[in-house]
Structure 1
Amino acid sequence: MKLWPSFIGMLLAVVSSFTSAGGEQQRLIELLEPLASSTGQFKQITKDASDAVIQSSEGTFAIQQPGKFMWRTSAPYEQLLVSDGQTIWLYDPDLEQVTIKPASGQKDQLPIRILSGDFDLLGSEFSIQSGAATGSQQVFSLRPLAPGSLTNIDLVFDGSQLVAMHVQDASKTVTQFEFVGRRDLTTQDEAQFKFQIPEGADVFYDE
């Protein structure tokens, strides 16, 4: 099964008039900002509504705020998701297909758009609650404001480090991401946000 990463997905309760709501949003932004220019590895597990594992994968990611990201799944299927902040490319080497989308307005990419610095989404699309998990961990729960919206996101921090993200869709399918080995981007890493369409690949446009 191959899915757009729910990044890849991939990142609140109902907006409240309490002043603490703004404080939670600002605290979350402060924790996410260090991701502004970073790369690392991820492991991904997707479970259905009965908690049965239906997909597992792993790969590498890179983020450069605002708006640039690379999400490469290496196993069990190779797949590449890239954005330069204006355009999103999804490349499937097995099928030799490239799907191209505009970066703005992609509801299925809300989690990774948040991670890559689109913090306006935190106030416009979600409400935020935070609570302790275990030990030094803290969870920020993002819940959609609009009725019928599809994505619930939980962001798990260990101290100041983002270590996991859980994304639940309308069918109660949950995709769990674990992040490890984060480091700052180098100049060479920045080339990952540019995508060259492979010769001979079929190209599809999804507006």
Structure 2
Amino acid sequence: MQTGIRLIAAWIVWLAGAGLAWAGGLQELEAFNAKVKTFEARFVQVAIDDPARASDRQSGQLWIARPGRFRWEYAGGLDQVILSDGKTLQLYDRPLAQVTRRPLDQALAATPAVLLSGRGDLSAQFDLAEEPSREDLSWVTLTPRSPDTDFRVIRLGLRGGVIQRMELEDHFDQQTRIDFSQIRVNKPIDEGVFRLKLPAGVEVIEE
């Protein structure tokens, strides 16, 4: 379950600046709660220190419907689904035929994913700073105020008011890059996306 929570921590923070009219990075982050209701995108995730390693390259799709619902799904490779219906967080590992469930608030309390709920104060959760532009992107750094988070630093790369890239550095100096494409903001999402259909024989673990 820890792997799933770390992945959630990675991508939810990115959503804090997504899909807004062009502005400075900090302005986009502050405006997110009022602007974005639904979000859909493709993603590619690689290890920054060695992006050529096939084992560290993952891809898939994500869907978000505020407040509190999301689906982060890996295609091939890791082959996991991380899903929230607004109350319960589920991590479905297809190769293991196992689902782990826990209350959403409990699962997200110590991660940047608290932003998804819409109840968190961004400036209370993170120290925010703008960085110089690079690679044709505007950058914002988020440093968690709490020591009980999986990531030491989170960097968001924006262009045209939409997050294009996310860079994460954990407490073991491991770095991950996530690139987003085919982004759709405030478009209808089928309710079935946020329901997890399990085949017979899958083990369910309640935490």
TM-score (structure 2 length as normaliser): 0.77
How far apart, in 2, do the equivalents of 1:141 and 1:205 lie?
Answer: 35
Residue 44 (structure 2) pairs with residue 43 (structure 1) = yes
How far apart, in 1, do the equivalents of 2:128 and 2:58 lie?
Answer: 28
Describe the SS at the equivalent of 1:138.
strand
Q: CA RMSD in A?
A: 2.9
Amino acid corresponding to residue 132 of structure 2 in structure 1: A
Once the two structures are TM-superposed, the CA of residue 75 in structure 1 deviates from its matched residue by 2.5
Please tell me whether the aligned partners of residues 47 and 175 of structure 2 are also in contact (alpha carbons under 8 angstroms). Answer: yes
Partner of 2:91: 90
Please tell me whether the aligned partners of residues 79 and 90 of structure 1 are also in contact (alpha carbons under 8 angstroms). Answer: yes
How far apart, in 1, do the equivalents of 2:94 and 2:107 lie?
Answer: 23
Partner of 2:50: 52
How far apart, in 2, do the equivalents of 1:35 and 1:45 lie?
Answer: 26
Identity among equivalent pairs (%): 24
* 1:39 to 1:109, Cα distance in 2 relative to 1, 3 A: farther
Partner of 2:166: 165
What per-residue deviation string (whole Å, max 9, x for no partner) do you get for residues 57-115 of structure 1? 0000001122111000002231101001211111111111001021114358834443x
Partner of 2:206: 205
Amino acid corresponding to residue 142 of structure 1 in structure 2: L
What per-residue deviation string (whole Å, max 9, x for no partner) do you get for residues 120-176 of structure 1? 152332111112322652111110113464322111111201111122211111221
* 1:97 to 1:148, Cα distance in 2 relative to 1, 3 A: closer
What per-residue deviation string (whole Å, max 9, x for no partner) do you get for residues 34-73 of structure 1? 54212120000135xxx23561100000011221110000
> Which structure carries more helix by proportion?
2
Amino acid corresponding to residue 101 of structure 1 in structure 2: R
How far apart, in 2, do the equivalents of 1:165 and 1:108 lie?
Answer: 21
Amino acid corresponding to residue 174 of structure 1 in structure 2: Q
* 1:136 to 1:77, Cα distance in 2 relative to 1, 3 A: closer
How far apart, in 2, do the equivalents of 1:128 and 1:66 lie?
Answer: 23
Amino acid corresponding to residue 79 of structure 1 in structure 2: Q
Partner of 1:128: 128
Segments of structure 1 that go 5 or more residues without pairing to the other structure are: 12-22
TM-score (structure 1 length as normaliser): 0.77
Amino acid corresponding to residue 10 of structure 2 in structure 1: G
Segments of structure 2 that go 5 or more residues without pairing to the other structure are: 14-23
Amino acid corresponding to residue 129 of structure 1 in structure 2: A
